[in-house]
Amino acid sequence: MFLVKVQGLKTYFYKGKGILSKLFGKGLRIVHAVDDISFTIGKGETFGLVGESGCGKTTAGSSLLRLVEPVEGQIFFEGKEVLKMNEREIRKFRQKVQIIFQDPVTCLDPRIIAGEIIAEPFRIHSSKITKREIEDKVIQLLEWVNLSPEDAYKYPHEFSGGQVRRIGLARALALHPKFIVADEPTSGLDVSTAAMILNLMQDLQEKFNLTYLWISHNLNVVKHVCDKIAVMYLGKIVELGKTQDVCGNLLHPYSQALFSAIPTINFKNKRKKIILKGEVPSPINLPIGCRFGSRCKYNMLICSQEEPDLIDMGGGHLVACHLLVKR
Amino acid sequence: MNKKLLEVKNLVVEYRLGTKIMRALDNISFSIKKGEVLGIAGESGCGKSSLGLAIMRLLPRAGKISQGEILFKERNLLRLSETEMNREIRGREIAMIFQNPLHALNPVFTIETQMVDIMRFNLRYQQLNINKKNISLKDRAIELLRETGLADPEERITDYPFQFSGGMKQRVMIAMAFISNPPLLIADEPTTALDVTIEAEILALIINLVNKYKNSVLYISHDLGVISEISDRVMIIYAGKIVEMADSRSLFDDPRHPYTRALLESLPGTKTHKGRLPTIPGCVPPLDKLPKGCSFHPRCPFVEEICKKSTPEFVELAPNHWVACLREGKLGRRTKCF
Amino acid sequence: MIQENIANSSPKRSNYRKKNSQIKKIASILRIILHDYRGQIGSAFIIVMVVCAIFSPWIAPFDPYEQDILNRFASPSLTHLLGTDYLGRDILSRIIYGSRVAAMVSFGSVCFSAIAGVIIGVMGGYKEGRKLDYAIILVFDIVRSFPQLILALALVAVIGPSVRNLILALAFTAFPFYGRLARAETLSVKEEDYVKAAKALGATDIQIIFKHIIPNTLSPVIVTGGMDLATMIMYEASLSFLGLGVRPPTASWGIMLRNGLTYIHASPYMIIWPALTIAIAMIGFSLFAESLRIALNPKERKLHE
């Protein structure tokens, strides 16, 4: 039973569309932010999307909600094609799907008090609701995210980092969504605050049977909360599978490097770090063949000729690497 | 090797905001030996960044060092004039790298101009390189950049800051900090804005440079993982006070202060999958309304009556393992979970 | 469970209602203005002018239209504090009545141009890069390419001089400036995460524009409006001076200047007093606008809280 199914999703941005850049510039340049990704998320599952900045994980998340229009591909939500919905259907769809943004401060209007921010979804979607009902609901939402009702009339800048996250969470929960895209929900928080938010989000997931798409670069967090993990590199998924399978048996050279780089406080078995050479290639001029080829220590001839496909290594553990085909 | 390079004694830093007086650092004392990396960890707002700025005497106008001494090579930095600080200390004897390299580089000049400019006016650089007069400043800059692992520095040196990625900019910043091969490097969250793979590269780079040149480093970070990877000794700060200081190994393997212990336990990904993480109840108290007694007592799971009344002394529990907790002896060894 | 919640929270709810944050905010803005010497002087002038405009029949010592031919060109005295003009009318009363025209024209034209400018500008900014946006920019630029005063002059000449037409003409010449400002602000606010968040909640464009974009574009518009109040007083005086403002017997500072110029050899007071009034009014409004700019800066406000 899947809730969300993504097939061959591509989101490109176009640079240099204007007349001047056509005349003098390099012409139209395409940024391949998300380039052909497919995955499914089951009901009540937490699906982690990890990768470094610029790998397209945030774009993938906003494409799912059609905040950014994808170029190609299909997204199914509860069996319905999201990309074929019209304006009205999209508004309905957005009641069931919510997003928590990366920067908790900028996603709250600085001129509106917290109570009004949380009440906004009700005002948008139901005109019949009375003031009293809204107030009751706001107070209840605040309680769900462990804030006090007095916080309702504070402005966003009066809150601490963790509290601002809670307000964003309360607003997202207002319409009882089924699916939440959480974009870096704990970045920029202190350890103990981050732990509180993680606990809270897991509690809410249990309480409301939520499904999360968890976008993060913090691999420790992803390892802790996610049932499935997809590792992205330059717009593509290079490794995907259940958390235990992926973390226990990293197969793609990039995932190996990525996971080895996590700073740990474990003195007993300090992993040897794999330090990658060079920089991530630009998503405008993609390398031919494997996108990771230029930085990979196992680079072979075929890697610069053909792009590897995702292959099943057993139990739904998908990896895109030529090294594994050979074996 | 055992000589103290920097010694901070009873340092108190206060911020004045309107009528409020906030004690950002309260009675901080520590020292750094030559070639040692001291990690400073704590939650945001605990005063760890103020410490770096206080040593450089770069506190914002509202901040004041109201007590204490900062002895660097047995000279009290607080007695030096502003000109002396500029001419002899900042960027010469003590260099600093910041979290956001974008703001620390001037966007309108090339890397070459900025590096050569620093070299030209840096007396310490000129003294150090007195026998290398025949090497041009540009070549020396290229050499430094190569040492920090920047790919083809000959080409890149004429680029502007915006042409570099975050990781590369941080490399340039490190190269600039190492122009005068400073005995002490203060690094304030230099990898926080970077990805893990780049972070690993930068950490490896700092460790390499320190091993090679025997500089001392004051490494400030909120990330305990990073601190444990880079530091020889670690100091944990809570609400402006040092709560625990020990060798990296013994601090992370056997934390004695309840706060340190709680911090380590709340890290995800170390123990169980999907379980609830232990958290610290409440939040960091505002610096102008610190509780009486031990400032951690309202959040401490082991709190006793005495904690609410008297402030704990900083005592040496084990050799080189200092803790400021009234119940220090009774906390017992913890079962290791890492 | 839910019932329990409501029961528990009823005392808190009354609390939630009581604190009106909007009033709190306006109060803090006013507090900053009144703590600043520019704000004190500026708001004092504005209050005096508005009071004069509203209550002129009660404040003015004489009827501004009553002629006293025997007492022409009188110097300031205890009866006529500022003297009389070429028809023996009391200058002080005429200045007080003149503040009516000045206040109406300046507030009226600023309000009209700001409202029109914000609505059109926000529309253009929100639909950035579409045909509507290009059309709006074109209109703005055409209007802005004429000097403001000359354009207003031409418009009044066509539609005829009266207070209403003066307001319309001045508003028309000024609205593109507000439009440009609002459009530029919209472009940046539109990209903010909270606008995206509202979109993700399913808000329509209209809801987003009124709830998030317009409130966030207002503060620069208000500041420019404050500055423009002074400019509009000057424009009204200039147009009336040139004979294209309000019609003569009506008391207006511009008309008084014009008459004063004609009889400058007979009595200097006829030109000194209205000129001084215009200068003082403009300084007052400028000071007020300056302190408003400071008060609307959220950073300043935080310091004063």
Q: Is the Cβ pair B222, A52 closer than 8 Å?
A: no
* pTM for the model: 0.78
Q: What is the pLDDT of residues A307-323, one digit of tens each?
A: 888 888 888 888 888 88
Chain B CB contacts of A258 under 8 Å are 196-197
Neighbours of B18 (CB within 10 A): 9
Residues for chain C: how many in total?
Answer: 305
Helices B137-147, B166-177: inter-axial angle, 10-degree rounding: 120
Confidence band of A267 (pLDDT split at 50, 70, 90): low
Q: Please report the pLDDT score of residue C22 as a whole number.
A: 67
Do B200 and A275 lie within an 8 Å CB cutoff? yes
| Closest alpha carbon to A177 in A53, A247, A94 | A94
> Taking CA atoms, what residue in A is nearest to B283?
A193
Q: Which structure tokens are listed for A225?
A: 């909360």
Of A280, A278, A276, A302, which Cα lies nearest the Cα of A291?
A280
When the pLDDT of each residue in chain B is averaged and rounded to a whole number, the result is: 82
Least confident of A9-23, A50-64, B145-159: A9-23
Exposed/middle/buried for residue B172 (C-beta within 10 Å: 0-12, 13-18, 19+): buried
Using one digit for the tens of pLDDT, what is the confidence trace for C7-42?
344 444 444 444 556 677 777 778 877 877 888 888
Cβ–Cβ under 8 Å, residues B28 and B50 = no
Put simply, the answer to whether A267 touches B168 (Cβ < 8 Å) is no
Q: Which chains touch C (3 or more CB pairs under 8 A)?
A: A
Q: Which residues of chain B have pLDDT under 50?
A: 1, 334-338
Q: Is it the case that residue C301 has pLDDT exceeding 70?
A: no
Check if B264 contacts A (Cβ < 8 Å).
yes
Residues of C with Cβ-Cβ distance to A147 under 8 angstroms? none
> What tens digit of pLDDT does each residue of C273-299 get?
888 888 888 888 888 888 888 787 766
- pLDDT, tens digit, 9 for 90 and up, residues B261-284: 888 888 876 555 667 788 887 777
Nearest Cα of chain C lies from the Cα of A67 at a distance, in angstroms, of: 7
The mean per-residue pLDDT over the stretch C183-196 comes to 86
Average model confidence (pLDDT) across chain A: 84
Widest CA span in chain B: 70
Helices vs. strands in chain C: H and E counts, helices first: 14, 0
Which helix (H) or strand (E) segment is C92 a member of?
A: helix C91-126
pLDDT digits (tens, 9 = 90+) for A162-214: 888 888 888 888 888 899 999 888 877 888 888 888 888 988 898 889 999 99
Lowest average pLDDT, out of A14-18, A147-151, A275-279, goes to A14-18
Q: Could you tell me the sign of the dihedral formed by the alpha carbons of A133, A134, A140, A143, in that order?
A: negative
pLDDT of residue B220: 92
> How much is the pLDDT for C113?
92
Residue C305 pLDDT: 52
Nearest one of A46, A45, A36, A48 to A7, comparing CA atoms: A36
Distance from CA of C178 to the nearest CA of A (A): 21
How high does pLDDT run on average in chain C? 80
> Are A265 and B204 within 8 A, CB to CB?
no
What average pLDDT does the segment A27-44 reach? Answer: 85
Comparing alpha-carbon positions, the chain A residue that sits nearest to C305 is A158
The answer to whether C188 contacts chain A (CB < 8 Å) is no
Please tell me the least confidently modeled range out of A157-161, A221-225, C24-28: C24-28
pLDDT at residue A158, as a whole number: 80
> What pLDDT score does C249 carry?
74
* Closest chain A residue to the Cα of B197, Cα to Cα: A261
- pLDDT, tens only, C195-251: 888 888 888 888 888 888 888 888 888 888 888 888 888 888 888 888 777 777 777
pLDDT at A16 over 50: yes
pLDDT tier, A15 (very low <50, low <70, confident <90, very high otherwise): confident
A176: left (phi over 0), alpha (psi -120 to 50) or beta: left
Instruction: Check CB contact under 8 Å for C201 and A103.
Output: no
Burial class, B96, CB count within 10 angstroms (exposed 0-12 / middle 13-18 / buried 19+): buried
Q: Does C191 touch chain A (CB under 8 A)?
A: no
- Rounded to the nearest 10 degrees, how much is the dihedral formed by the CA atoms of C278, C283, C288, C289? 90
